[in-house]
Amino acid sequence: MARTIRSLLIVPLIAAAVPAAAFEFTFPWINREASFEITETLVLDYHDDNLDYGELGPNPYNDNYGDIRNRLNLKLSVEDFSFAARIDTTTFIDAPDDPGIQYLDRYAPEKLNASYHGENFQADLGDFYASFGRAIALRIRKTDELSEDTTLLGGKLRAQLGPVDLTALGGLSNPTNWDGVTEKTIDDPYDLITGLSVAVRPQESLVLRAHGVGLVIDPLEENQRAQGFIETAMLPEYAFVAGGAVEVLGLADLADLYAEFNWMEKELKFPDMPAEDGWAAYFGGNLYLGDLTLTAEFKSYSDYELFSETDSESGKYKPERLDYIRPPTLEPEDMEVTNNHDVTGARLKVDWRPWGGDTLLFASYAGFIAEDQSVANQPEKNRWIYNLQVGAEQFFLRRGRAKVDVGLREEVPDWSGGNHHHLIYLDADVKVPLGVRHSLSVQGFNWWAHKLDALGAFDYLRGEWTLAYSWSPLLTLGVILGYDTEYSQSRDLDIIKDIGGNPVRQVFMAGTVSVNLSSRVVLNLLAGQIRGGPKCVSGACRVFPPFAGVRLETVIRL
Amino acid sequence: MTTPNRPLLLSILLGVLLICSGCASTPKGAKPGGETKVVGDFTLRDLKGSRVSFRDFGDKVVLLAFWATWCVPCHTELPQLQEIWERYRERGFELVSINVDPADNESEVRQLARRYKYRFPVLMDQETEVSNRFNPTMDLPYSVLVDRRGRISSVHQGYRIGDEETIENKIKNLLNP
């Protein structure tokens, strides 16, 4: 009953906003021009049996239920001032009674922000994002692919005083409380983060930066953390990061150079543990030689992690790790990088546009040595990681494009024993114009992998391919084929079967329809199955459950 | 069983309501011609490290094109938009691309901009400050066409081959009202 009442409250709120949407007006009392914007996303899901596998065997606790998710973004702008709100609602229908963590309906304002963005001064109050250095000192922002959207709830001030750029911020960490991966609720970590950054530009091509970040984990002691959660013992009581960077831009129009160093001190929450020091050094340089571009990057990180963990009140909230920094990995973005905090290595990338025309060739090689995370408390044991990638891109028929790359990634211990991981990967993206308004596209990836870990040695195959027909600007029809044989520990593709003969899906097929009803209204429909498994962005990975069922999404911008 | 279905019905009703409102003609209170929202100013850093403000483009017709290194269709769309920009820039059209990659990808952004020979301004929105304002759902590619008076004329989500014709026609209409 309460759920229905909450739904009823939300509907008039949104419905009331709609007739007033998309208009400009003169703001009363101050006689200023103002505008009101709405972005509305409504998702209806029906989850069929996804034939997935939990920790204890086949998992029935994410099957045969529905959910309705609504995200409403509202924004009022009056000249340089703006006021924004994001209101999220989630309603479950016949959700399974999960003995682990429950499915909880949620109706709440997720983000609120008031801001002033003038020419030389900007102020944010409420929720805001922040980034210092190359995300090595601080990185608070959204990563939609991993369903992450953390902000700081507090205040941020930025001022530009001639060649000096100042940023000061402080606030409580505020992740989006509905987790789009598991559809469970996550609580706030109540961590206090403060920061100060100064950038000076003494010459046109030179920028000097200095920054400091302070973190106090859960100063109000609001959190109940699961004792068994692996990260709990590693949580700091407080942490401090200080660093600086030198940036040389457009050096004779031939090169850009960037160097950054950060030092971190942490006091661990675990009693009687000593303070930990860590550091991170990064160098990146681009050299432009006509049709040839070279990029060289180097990283060396030692004990360099800054993360927290959300509340894990039994049965109610899902504990989730939140990283407050994400230093460059120097590998393709979707790679499963298991250790980016005790690692040293470099990458060299070459882009070549021979004959200055429609053909592009590129290659990169990266090599690292990282502390072996598969063995506890033995920092002298390391792993070598190599990643070689080559590819080509061709533009054709004026608007057509084909891009293919292949790579080899190896991760091997420098001692006898330990885990191995060998991977050959292929990425492809081809778009073929069929006349002025019609086109066909194929896009996807394939992994051939070999693993040696505690379970033994095995091979597996993973990939996802999308074939789509588009009729601009109205319609796209697509078919998605996915496969993943990691659970069967075999390269032999079976539609449904794991190594123990359990019904775990290995082959996934779905159809999609995307319709632009107008330039401001988009409908997306998906029916079938979508591959789950680990998904990584810039060294952060999350394991997604496979999806089976129907999903209808509408996006409206007014 | 009736209670759990009510939210479903309400949400479907809500969806239909919103879709209908989105498809409807100009809402009450809006100015004619679909010009409804003032863009307002923003300032971002370009690849040379210089601060670039939206107001620097004066009374030009501006297309704000949001993209990222991982956005596959963006790299098909941007060369097309660059061609349009080269055709109409003398007549007062400016293409301003806004990259939304996080700070850790900056080397990649620089290399990519050179690889594709992007000659239009590339601004970096590493904290998604500007992107959130125009495109809070972070769909990519995403473009916002702004008229000479600084009002949003239209938005375009996604890229299908042929979309550039639609965008070009809209730009022509704004340049020759």
Min Cα–Cα distance to chain A from B110, Å:
8
Query: DSSP 3-state assignment of A189?
Result: coil
Q: Which residues of B27-62 are buried (b: 16+ CB within 10 A; e: fewer)?
A: beebeeebbbbbbbebbbbbbebeebebeebeebbb
Asked if residues A527 and A510 have their Cβ atoms less than 8 Å apart, the reply is yes
Counting residues of chain A whose pLDDT is more than 70, the rounded percentage is 90
Contact B155 A519 (CB under 8 A): yes
Contact A399 B139 (CB under 8 A): no
Surface of B (82-101) touching A: CB under 8 A:
none
Q: Is A91 on the interface with B (CB under 8 A)?
A: yes
Average pLDDT over chain A, rounded to whole?
A: 87
Residue A38 — φ and ψ, nearest 5°? -130, 130
How much is the pLDDT for A5? Answer: 44
Partners of residue A21 in chain B, C-beta under 8 Å: 21, 27
Q: Is A97 on the interface with B (CB under 8 A)?
A: no
- Is residue A68 scored above 50 in pLDDT? yes
**In which residue are the tokens 């079938």 written?**
A528
How much is the pLDDT for B166? Answer: 92
Min Cα–Cα distance to chain A from B92, Å:
23
Partners of residue B139 in chain A, C-beta under 8 Å: 555
Contact A286 B111 (CB under 8 A): yes
CA distance A75 to A93: 30
Min Cα–Cα distance to chain B from A30, Å:
17
- Is residue A54 scored above 80 in pLDDT? no
The interface predicted TM-score (ipTM) is 0.87
What six digits make up the tokens of A391? 């590819």
How much is the pLDDT for A151? Answer: 95
∠ CA A542-A548-A549, rounded to 5°? 130
How much is the pLDDT for B38? Answer: 66
Choose among A90, A15, A7: nearest CA to B18: A15
| Confidence (pTM) | 0.87
| A-B Cβ pairs (cutoff 8 Å, strict) | 268
**Tens-level pLDDT at each residue, chain B (177 residues):** 334 445 444 444 444 444 444 444 333 333 433 444 567 788 899 998 888 999 899 889 999 999 999 898 999 999 999 999 999 999 999 999 999 999 999 999 999 998 888 999 999 999 888 998 888 888 899 999 999 988 888 889 889 999 999 999 999 999 987
Among A53-62, A190-199, A266-275, A490-499, the range with the most confident prediction by mean pLDDT is A190-199
> Do the strands A533-537 and A121-128 form a parallel or antiparallel pair, or are they unpaired?
unpaired
8-state DSSP, A545: P
What six digits make up the tokens of B23? 């498809």
How much is the pLDDT for A1? Answer: 43
Lowest mean pLDDT among A334-338, A454-458, B56-60: A454-458
Cis peptide upstream of residue A473 (ω within 30 degrees of 0)? yes
**Which option is the CATH number for B32-175: 3.40.30.10, 3.20.20.80, 2.30.30.240, 3.40.630.30?**
3.40.30.10
Residue of A4, A143, A430 to mutate when probing chain B, most B C-beta within 10 A? A4
| pLDDT digits 0-9 by tens, A423-449 | 999 999 999 999 889 999 999 999 999
For residue A485, is it within any domain?
no
Domain ranges of chain B: 32-175
- Please tell me which residue of chain A has the smallest CA distance to B4: A93
Contact A134 B69 (CB under 8 A): no
Residue of A521, A524, A551, A552 to mutate when probing chain B, most B C-beta within 10 A? A521
Partners of residue A538 in chain B, C-beta under 8 Å: 102, 104-105
| Top-confidence residue, A316 or A274 | A316
How much is the pLDDT for B89? Answer: 94
Average pLDDT over residues A72-76: 92
pLDDT tier, A271 (very low <50, low <70, confident <90, very high otherwise): low
Contact A437 B165 (CB under 8 A): yes
Surface of A (33-62) touching B: CB under 8 A:
33-35, 37, 39-42, 44
Average pLDDT over residues A257-268: 93
Min Cα–Cα distance to chain A from B3, Å:
7
Structural domain total, chain A = 1
Q: Is A471 on the interface with B (CB under 8 A)?
A: yes
> Do the strands A53-54 and A130-132 form a parallel or antiparallel pair, or are they unpaired?
unpaired
Partners of residue B76 in chain A, C-beta under 8 Å: 399, 401, 431
| pLDDT digits 0-9 by tens, A279-331 | 999 999 999 998 899 999 999 999 999 988 887 776 788 888 899 999 999 99
Partners of residue B163 in chain A, C-beta under 8 Å: 472-473
Lowest mean pLDDT among A145-154, A268-277, B11-20, B27-36: B27-36
Is A549 buried (19+), middle (13-18) or exposed (0-12) by CB count in 10 A? Answer: buried
Counting residues of chain A whose pLDDT is more than 90, the rounded percentage is 58
Q: Smallest Cβ distance to B107: which of A39, A286, A403? A: A286
Surface of B (126-165) touching A: CB under 8 A:
126-129, 132-133, 135-139, 151, 154-158, 160-165
- Is residue A465 scored above 50 in pLDDT? yes
| Top-confidence residue, A126 or A250 | A126
Q: Smallest Cβ distance to A22: which of B27, B108, B133? A: B27
Contact B21 A555 (CB under 8 A): no
How much is the pLDDT for A17? Answer: 37
What six digits make up the tokens of A138? 């601080």
| pLDDT digits 0-9 by tens, B27-51 | 333 343 344 456 778 889 999 888 8
Residues near A151 by beta carbon (within 8 Å), at least 6 away in sequence: A111, A127, A128, A129, A140, A171, A174
Lowest mean pLDDT among A151-160, A483-492, B93-102: A483-492
How much is the pLDDT for A231? Answer: 58
CA distance A140 to B126: 10
Q: Is B48 on the interface with A (CB under 8 A)?
A: yes
Q: Return the H-helix or E-strand segment holding B19.
A: helix B2-23
Q: Is B169 on the interface with A (CB under 8 A)?
A: no
| pLDDT digits 0-9 by tens, A504-536 | 888 999 999 999 988 789 999 999 999 998 899
Cα A162 to Cα A165, B52, B58, distances in angstroms: 8, 14, 22
What domain range includes position A229? Answer: 118-328
Partners of residue B47 in chain A, C-beta under 8 Å: 249, 256
Is A314 buried (19+), middle (13-18) or exposed (0-12) by CB count in 10 A? Answer: exposed
- Please tell me which residue of chain B has the smallest CA distance to A433: B161
Neighbours of A294 (CB within 10 A): 16
Surface of A (112-141) touching B: CB under 8 A:
117-119, 122, 128-131, 133-136, 139, 141
Any idea of the CA torsion for B123, B102, A525, B80, to the nearest 10 degrees? 30
Query: DSSP 3-state assignment of B21?
Result: helix
Contact B21 A18 (CB under 8 A): yes
CA distance A150 to A175: 4
